[in-house]
Amino acid sequence: MKNKRVWLGGLVAVAVIALGGYAMRSHHYQERFLPKTSVLGVDVSGQTVTKANQILRTHFTTSKLKLTDQGKTVATATGTQLGLKQDFTAQLKKLLQQQNPWALSATVLASSNDKAALTKGNAQLTSYTQTTAKQLNQTRQAPVNAKVVAQSGKFVVQKEKNGNQINANKLAAAVTKAVSADKPSVDVAATYNQPTVTATSATLQKAATTLSKIAGIKAQVKIENHVVTIPQSDLQSWLSYDGGVQVSEQKVGAYVAKLAAQYNTYGTARSFKSTKRGTVTVPGGTYGWSIAQQTTAKQLIAAIKQGQDFTKEVAHTGSGYNANGIDIGTTYVEVDVTNQHEYFYQDGKLVLDSPVVTGKPGQDTPHGVDFVWSQERNKTLRGSNDDGSAYASPVDYWMPVDYTGVGLHDSSWQKKYGGDWFKEHGSHGCVNNPPSFMAKLFAAVPLGTPVIIF
């Protein structure tokens, strides 16, 4: 019985000692981290908050992070470069409060919020990743999106191409994750910019089909009595896709300009078969025909986008046109300044003719292919004489032919016509006609009739 009491007493003593030791241990870990405790991947077992803070700060400022690509290190950053210098005291206190000091051990890992706090708002880390990405990208290829391209007379979707340029935002996220997990490296391949449009895009496939259809239409341009077919190679070169079917304004404009250079007659010199002097060259004047280029280009673009065969007549200004450039036709007034004579041909037949008086030397009647753009009765012509004095000449018939004030009119003040009379008694530039002849000419000549002066 006595031995039993001794054994129980010993057991109680051991228990007391154990409880005392355990109590002391518990008290010890009230201010220290338990064994097997790591924070942000760093072992802080048995450390106070102050000491653990020092360990963490030293770890993150001196540790190095490698940026690798295909196993090759392309850059290295220290914690200092990444701006990992903050105080961890608040985080450590929070974690210490959460641990159970009565536990024998604990593995305390930082929560996602704690990890985020390590790099949250870290402008230096952001600056480092942006600068590094920019430097590395100088020798790297950017990704190429899938696109619609012309190929052998039709349009197809060209496959996208991967690049190896680094996305700065992705790199910042990868670095943040690696630092939070205490990883020694980041594979930048995971941060590459990727093509945003791939060959599987239904939009691109549809666009290729639409463009192919347009490229195959029969597109024609009507230029008065000419019909010009736009070459399909030209048509295809005008087409592209950029969020929608595009027709190049620049290329269509250049094509229309080429047509204008070939077919315009306004302002061009003409070869003219005269009555007395054979074939002569007459400079351009007010008469002629021109393609309205901007309007025509816009109309062609609109017609092309419809994707249907078309024949589009060009917009134009002026009047008169002939395929070989001699657009005067067979009804016209001819003023032969050298011979001081005027003729009116109607449908190729001479109807009227008369000697005239043109501008005197120094005020010569301007040569050119003009036209009758107005017809007026009882007009007073005004201007200045050689001495600067003003004149006012009433006429019964007035037909202006250019835009400088030159025209055909009667001239009751002239005593004679033809010959050398114009040298001393010539006009200020107009063509003076005998009054009786001018009355007939006025009645016979239609508005818009060409007037060739040479």
Tokens describing residue 124: 């230096």
Catalytic residue list contains 409: yes
- If DSSP codes are grouped into helix, strand and coil, which group holds residue 166? strand
Rounded to an integer, the average pLDDT of 214-221 is 97
For residues 53 and 83, state if they share a domain.
yes
CB atoms under 10 Å from CB of 3, counted, come to: 7
- The CATH number of whichever domain residue 237 belongs to comes to 3.10.20.800
pLDDT at res. 115: 46
| 430 is a domain residue | yes
| 73 is a domain residue | yes
| DSSP string covering 174-234 | HHHHHHHTT-SEEEGGGGB---SS-TT-HHHHHHHHHHHHHHTS-EEEEETTEEEEPPHHH
For residues 46 and 92, state if they share a domain.
yes
Per-residue pLDDT reduced to its tens digit, 263-296: 999 999 999 999 999 999 999 999 999 999 999 9
Per-residue pLDDT reduced to its tens digit, 94-120: 888 888 765 554 444 444 344 444 555
Per-residue pLDDT reduced to its tens digit, 358-379: 999 999 999 999 999 999 999 9
For residues 314 and 365, state if they share a domain.
no
pLDDT at res. 256: 98
Per-residue pLDDT reduced to its tens digit, 25-59: 555 678 998 888 888 778 899 999 999 999 988 88
- The CATH number of whichever domain residue 367 belongs to comes to 2.40.440.10
Active-site residue identified among 59, 316, 428, 430: 430
> In the chain, how many domains are there?
3
For residues 362 and 446, state if they share a domain.
yes
The predicted model scores a pTM of 0.66
**Percent of the chain scoring above 70 in pLDDT:** 88
Of 115, 138, 163, the position where a domain reaches its end is 115
pLDDT at res. 101: 65
Catalytic residue list contains 430: yes
pLDDT at res. 273: 96
Going by the DSSP 8-state scheme, the letter that residue 299 receives in this structure is: H
Residue-averaged pLDDT of the chain: 88
For residues 25 and 103, state if they share a domain.
yes
Of 115, 138, 159, the position where a domain reaches its end is 115
Of 115, 139, 167, the position where a domain reaches its end is 115
Domain that holds residue 435: 332-453
For residues 339 and 252, state if they share a domain.
no
Active-site residue identified among 59, 316, 409, 428: 409
For residues 311 and 364, state if they share a domain.
no
